[in-house]
Amino acid sequence: MRAFLFPGQGSQKVGMGAELADASEAARDVFGEVDEALLQKLSTMMREGPEDQLTLTTNAQPAIMANAIATLRVLERDFGIKLEAHGHCVAGHSLGEYAALCAVGAFSLTDTARLLKLRGRAMQSAVPVGEGTMAVLLGADIEQAKALADAAAQGEICEIANDNDPTQVVISGHTAAIERAVVLVKEFGIKRGMILNVSAPFHCSLMQPAADRMAEALTITSPAAFTLPVYANVSAAAVTDPEHERALLVEQVTGRVRWRESVLAMRADGVESFVELGGKVLGPMVSRIDKDAQVTNLVTMADLEAFAKEMA
């Protein structure tokens, strides 16, 4: 069994998608549709920068999705590898869950781009700049991270945002609480804590205003039926019902990204092969979660060609 994976924020970089766009009409069509949907030349920003603009949450979220879907469309149209024929399920990290849903027909590309643009704006504006941040804990398991977060909170918000793999957990909350956590890491047996260069404290309860806005948006633009199960971030379980998935997408804004558990759940359900589309972030996480899992990253035309030959 094979799962197709879709990366999340942090995988953006200037030049992303340029090779695919130069080589394939299928990729150009994706970038053109996203540009039209957002009424901006996002594809130019992806190709040329500036990096500080591409990194902004409101741009990074639709850009990462567009790159992943472009990779998928090239695989499907240029190499004849259909997702439904060669995959058994999909999953995405944070915003990547929207890309996964787009890939299996729950949202159109246009709607996905608009929802992610709104999601980025809502998350950016939920907390005043400087009041919240995030930190990555290296060499930390989930129990160590939870104990540290509880100790550092001191009446403020300090919560686990991402359970990425057995050695990497991300915490999120009020800036002072996150800074206290970084100072305390050694006391909890954690190798290192680093403040992340992010514009807001994602995936914690401070994001509730953004969750409220997404609830409204997803009532208007709800997921349709999808062709493959989606492993949702907040439940770490397969979802097939669109209404259930809509509720989980709202919960996801403030909830923990349970990526480690999601990969373990897919493995328990029989998935042996994981294919990341448009990035090289999730694949290494999968390998750290389960060294026996087969991992493939598809970024370049050469990657896609090699994968197509393998599937032939």
One of 94, 199, 235, 262 is an active-site residue; which one? 94
**Buried-exposed string 100-122: b where 16+ CB fall within 10 A, e elsewhere:** bbbbbebbebebbbbbbbbbbbb
Residue 246 half-sphere exposure, CB side, CA atoms within 13 Å? 16
Which residue in the block uniquely carries the two structure tokens 């990035």?
279
Report the alpha-carbon distance of residue 192 to residue 165 in Å, rounded.
15
Order of strands across the sheet that contains 294-298? 238-239, 230-231, 89-92, 2-6, 273-277, 294-298
CB 46 within 8 A of CB 16: yes
Pick the closest to residue 78 from 301, 280, 228 (CA basis).
Answer: 301
The tokens for 222 are 């709800």
In terms of Cβ atoms closer than 10 Å to its own Cβ (0-12, 13-18, 19+), residue 144 is middle
The tokens for 265 are 């759940």
Which residue in the block uniquely carries the two structure tokens 């472009």?
70
Whether residue 262 lies in the annotated active site:
no
In terms of Cβ atoms closer than 10 Å to its own Cβ (0-12, 13-18, 19+), residue 167 is middle
In degrees, to the nearest 5, what angle opens at C-alpha 60 toward C-alphas 54 and 64?
120
Report the alpha-carbon distance of residue 310 to residue 23 in Å, rounded.
21
Whether residue 108 lies in the annotated active site:
no
Which DSSP state fits 211?
A: H
The tokens for 97 are 């869950």
One of 88, 93, 203, 262 is an active-site residue; which one? 203
Residues involved in catalysis:
94, 203
